[in-house]
Structure 1
Amino acid sequence: MTGAVEQVTTQLFIGGKWRDAEGGKTLTVDNPASGKALATVADASPADGVAALAAAAAAQADWARTPPRDRGEILRSAFELITQRADHFAELMTLEMGKPLAESKGEVTYGAEFFRWFSEEAVRISGRWSTAPNGATRLVTMKAPVGPTLMITPWNFPLAMGTRKIGPAIAAGCTMVVKPAAETPLTMLALAQLLEEVGLPAGVLNVVTTSDSGGVMEPLIRDPRTRKLTFTGSTAVGRKLVEQSADQLLRLSMELGGNAPFIVFHDADVDAAVDGAMLAKMRNIGEACTAANRFLVHADVAQEFGDKLAQRMGAMVVGNGLDDGVTVGPLINAKAVDKVAALVRDAAERGSKVVCGGEPGDGEGFFYPPTVLTGVPADADLVREEIFGPVAAIQTFTDEQDAIDRANSTEYGLASYFYTRDLSRTIRVSEGLEYGMVGVNQGIISNPAAPFGGVKASGYGREGGFEGIEEYLETKYVGLAL
């Protein structure tokens, strides 16, 4: 193991104690840059999961009574300590997920900011007082924490997807059971160590790592002590979790798949659009639910945009994310490489032109080069499916409404982007796009101060912003007779 990995406690974290999984079972965490084992962590059983929920339920009442200022100060201290240990967290993420070190450092900054934001929101939870229309009573509303919350986080943003859920839960007064992805559990375990260090009480945060996500989590979802489930991942898995949660009528936050359009109108600043496309497509190696999936470019500027984008993407350096100069790391595993390769082959067989890239690496590790396709037909699989890799698929259009209609012709509705210098078009297109988030003349829209989330098959609920803490609060109404 490397130095960063050796600093991580790899047991389960339950009730404020680090413990082995039932029977001492472990699972292996691989380094996607080499395909070789990086570390082993505890592999929880269903019984371990139940123990974690029991600890969260036992801690809930005391944690809910903890003064908001105290909860906020814990988050503020955690923010400061994450910032101090940025290099440690960045190295961990690069090792277990693959993204270049500079991107991992960017995620540390982004992820830590959720703790700072919600440290400030903890003391701003409020209700209201009003007079009933008939004047006979007074209406009081107050906020209360939802209660024990299950959190299932993905592998692509090992820190930020955790802090984005944990931050508002701590601020609101909810206890938690967190199950990080089996591919990238080390960062979450390191975060649990840090929160323990800054004084988060025992049982408030419990972390269960497991290779049997369904077997461990389904009993907890159906357990009456659970009051909320928040999940980030694929739409297919999200649908199963929603079904499982129905008996309990759980509060849900579902951040699911995406199929983001990136529209370039004829009046756009093409160079700025290419800059934005590089961010929207290549951030996190394209392994992001907000990644631009379909490039819809006006025919008048399509050649210029495609040439410039291919030049930029073709010049990127593929390799181990820890190495100097590398700008594109490996995909998460061999299955991910196979999926991307199959989507590119399908598009090429249907007439798309491969301008750069297009062939997976043949050495160790799970690498796929930045790839640009032009002339992509509407029936290509990658137009309908989330690519989750470094592939830009370019189509052309000539009519504004046609571009909007094609952008909306998907079951997904998470992120969208467009470039134009026309103010009226900005308003029309922003209103016309059926997406939870719209980026105008920018390629990154995620911000801890803004509500993150989608519509349609991309889920519901919002994370971040003023809205983020509401997902962890119930509203109670009290009628006072005079």
Structure 2
Amino acid sequence: MTSVESVLKKTPKDLFIGGRWVPASGGRTFDVDDPATGEVLCSVADATPADGVAALDAAVAAQPAWAAHPPRERGEILRRAFELLTTRIDDLALLMTSEMGKPLADSRAEITYAAEFFRWFSEEAVRIDGGYQVAPNGTGRFLVMRQPVGPCLFVTPWNFPMAMGTRKIGPAIAAGCTSVIKPAHQTPLSMLALAEILQEAGLPDGVLNVVPAVGAGELMEPLIRDGRARKISFTGSTAVGRRLIEQSAEQVLRVSMELGGNAPFLVFDDADLDKAVDGAMLAKMRNMGEACTAANRIYAQAGIAEEFGRRLAERMGALRVGHGAADGVQVGPLIDAKARTKVTELVSDAVDRGAKVVIGGKAPEGDGYDGGYFYSPTVLTDVPTDARMATEEIFGPVAPISVFQTEQEALELANDTEYGLVSYVFTTDLARGLRMSEGLETGMVGLNQGIVSNPAAPFGGVKHSGLGREGGSTGIDEFLETKLVAIAT
């Protein structure tokens, strides 16, 4: 089996600008840690603002030729990259687990998911269409063209370090847009490995530029205000998203924002409890709960609340916690000490306000946990509506359960948040399922299923959860401008 050391050794550590691997200005670097041990894995180039400008220069220079590149060839590059990702899934998964912490099985699942965005958009590249129509008064014609937006700026998060990249890079390449991407400083290695794969797949120099950096604001704000980039796409917190939208307004950039979530998970009395518990495990524990789609507010109807809570606690308590690369581990560490501290504080706050700990409720102790940022899978019941976790993202393996009586109460509880990314509903009553789906103020609904993400479907939220959609047939629209040519006849 390939070792972490050998995978790290062959993974690039420099900036990727204009098709070349280059050190950061002044030789700046930062350390990448293993969250399961707290130990340093390696050092990576730390881009300066000047490096960011060089990356934008490369993207701008490559834009005209890339926009004119045949759509079929753009698609073939993505297809080759999809195949390379699939072929190298084991090494890439080990790399991801090392820098991010998730178990190897989850990392393999993410690589598969990430690759599917390249396969999907390889097919969308040749589907870009336009239109032609006769003017209503019959004296002219309208020709509608769809053209690339232009150079793009991408900022991706640490929790899905490969998939959040391919979800942006795939449609950009398919549409004919160049880009500069700033991966999260906690997890830059997956993105650097992806850049190397795209280069091997035949992506021309300058079409993709990767600039890891610790100081995201220092690096990105000058690029946003530069005026040559025409779009920014960000996945991360709502607070940071707001700042980026403000900065983007100066140059009137196109923006796509996939921001925070606080997903409600509703279980009605008539639900199939086996399916509901399975769905809750998926919706809550995907990525150790470190996901914007995580079920953070679980509401069970009074008739089944006790039994649902018992079954969920039994499943959560049986999960094995440990280093993601170890055999049989199902729950890895949180990303860093700050993340674990926040989860600890949220649980303590809920307990202080009357919540009961059914299972977990603290960091695990003993051999194998020293130095890592672990937190035990936790189930809380009787969580009051004034608890902090009712309004704040948990981003950890904590399932808080509250009870509701009526369908209307469930809808009101679910919608009582500034966020609107995804909701989950479990019921065997189709009419109720449709009523809830229509009434829930979220961009996505999982009806009797605990996962909604799919490259072939639009992903995104409403309210403070973001703007725009990624994936599906609408995903490429975010990277295309519509131009009208009015023709006299």
TM-score by length of 2: 0.98
Equivalent position to 1:399, from 402, 406, 413: 406
Q: Does 1:436 align with 2:439?
A: no
Equivalent residues in 2 for 1:293-304, closer than 5 Å: 293-304=296-307
Counterpart Cα distance in 2 of 1:14 and 1:143? 28
Which of residues 137, 148, 173 is equivalent to 1:145?
Answer: 148
Residue identity opposite 1:159 in structure 2: M
* 1:214 lines up with 2:217 in the alignment: yes
One-letter code aligned to 1:454: G
Tell me, in whole angstroms, the C-alpha distance in 1 between the residues paired with 2:186 and 2:474.
30
SS in 1 for 2:473: helix
Q: CA-to-partner distance for each residue in 1:256-281, whole Å, 9 max, x for gaps? A: 00000000011000111000000000
Distance 2:212 2:429 in 1: 50
Task: Give CA deviations for 1:147-192 in whole Å, capped at 9, x if unaligned.
Answer: 0000000000011000000000000000000000000000000000
Query: Residue type of the partner of 1:212?
Result: G
- Among residues 443, 447, 460, which one is paired with 1:453 in the alignment? 460
One-letter amino acid of the counterpart of residue 447, structure 2: V
Is 1:381 aligned with 2:385?
no
> What is the CA-CA distance between 1:361 and the residue it aligns to?
3.2
Name the residue aligned to 1:390. Answer: 397
Secondary structure of the 2:286 match is helix
User: Which of 341, 349, 364 pairs up with 2:344?
Assistant: 341
**TM alignment of 1:34-433, pairs within 5 A:** 34-362=37-365, 363-433=370-440
Cα distance in structure 2, aligned partners of 1:418 and 1:98: 30
Residue 3 of structure 1: how far off its partner (Å): 1.4
CA distance in structure 2 between the partners assigned to 1:361 and 1:54 by the alignment: 49
What SS does the aligned partner of 1:466 have? coil
3-state SS of 1:222 partner: helix
Deviation string 1:96-133 (CA, Å, 9 cap, x unpaired) is 00000000000011000000000000000000111111
Identity in percent = 66
**SS at structure 1 position matched to 2:94:** helix
Counterpart secondary structure, 2:161:
coil
Task: Find the aligned partners of 2:42 and 2:292 in 1 and give their Cα distance.
Answer: 27
What SS does structure 2 have at the residue aligned with 1:2?
helix
Task: Provide the C-alpha distance between the structure 2 equivalents of 1:174 and 1:132, rounded to a whole number of angstroms.
Answer: 31
Q: Give per-residue Cα distances to partners, 1:393-445, cap 9 Å, x unaligned.
A: 00000110110011000000001101000011011000000000000000010
Letter in 1 for 2:415: N
Equivalents in 2 of 1:449, 1:150: separation in Å?
A: 23
SS at match of 1:471: helix
For residue 465 of structure 1, give the secondary structure of its aligned residue in structure 2: coil
Query: 1:458, 1:263 → 2: CA distance?
Result: 19
Deviation at 1:5, TM superposition (A): 1.1
**Paired amino acid for 1:420:** T
Looking at structure 1, the residues matched to 105 and 10 of structure 2 have their Cα atoms a distance apart, in angstroms, of 21
CA distance in 1, matches of 2:334, 2:364: 11
- Structure 1: which 5+ runs fail to align? none
Q: Of 20, 25, 31, which aligns to 2:23?
A: 20
Letter in 1 for 2:474: E
CA distance in 2, matches of 1:426, 1:478: 45
SS where residue 305 of structure 1 aligns?
Answer: helix
SS at match of 2:296: strand
Task: Return the alpha-carbon distance in structure 2 between the equivalents of residues 256 and 4 of structure 1.
Answer: 32
Counterpart residue type for residue 206 of structure 1 = N
Match of 2:479 in 1: 472
Deviation sequence 1:28-66 (CA, Å, 0-9, x none): 000000001011000010000000000000000000000
| 1:233-265 C-alpha deviation (Å, 9 max, x unpaired) | 000000000011111000000000000000001
What amino acid does structure 2 have at the position aligned with 1:376? V
Number of aligned residue pairs: 482
Moved more, 353-362 or 69-78: 353-362
- Of 359-368 and 256-265, deviating more is 359-368
Structure-2 separation of matches of 1:182 and 1:3: 21
Alpha-carbon offset, residue 6 of structure 1:
1.0
Q: Distance in 2 between matches of 1:96 and 1:34?
A: 11
For 1:62 and 1:481, the matched residues in 2 are separated by 30
Instruction: State the secondary structure of the residue aligned to 2:424.
Output: strand
Question: What is the root-mean-square deviation of aligned Cα atoms in Å?
Answer: 0.6
Consecutive unaligned residues of structure 2, counting only runs of 5 or more, are: none
Distance 2:363 2:51 in 1: 40
What is the alpha-carbon distance in structure 1 between the residues aligned to residue 371 and residue 9 of structure 2? 24
Separation in structure 2 between the aligned mates of residue 75 and residue 144 of structure 1, nearest angstrom: 19
Residue identity opposite 1:139 in structure 2: F
Output the amino acid matched with 2:27: G
